[in-house]
Amino acid sequence: MAPPQQGEQCGRPAGCVLVWVVTVLLLLAVLGGGGCLVAYVVLPPAESPAWIPAVGLSLVALPWAFWLVTCVYRCVTTRSGDRAVAPAGGGSIVSRNSPGS
């Protein structure tokens, strides 16, 4: 595998920051949801608010929903004509939009 070219590592400079922001937000969602679920298990039923399990499950499920939506997005955009396609017989990768294809 060839090393990434300059500017290809994260796309744009803001893209690297965006990846870290999304990662931190998803981590905080899992930790917050886990905290809610632990509080629901540890607190006595009389002291536990009714919304804690719903919020806990929602926050824990948020990263799963994010990755599912990301996967669907990638599958849909892969079918667009802007992606590069390898020829069936092997060889170099050509673009569908190139004049020779």
Encode pLDDT of 55-90 as tens digits.
999 999 999 999 999 999 999 988 775 555 555 665
Q: Output the pLDDT for position 28.
A: 97
Amino acid at 41: V
Tokens of 16: 């690297």
State the pLDDT confidence band at 52, using cuts at 50, 70 and 90.
very high
Question: Do the beta carbons of residue 26 and residue 33 sit within 8 Å?
Answer: no
Distance CA 24, CA 12 (A): 19
Tokens matching residue 88: 């069936």
Per-residue pLDDT band for 16 (boundaries 50, 70, 90) equals: confident
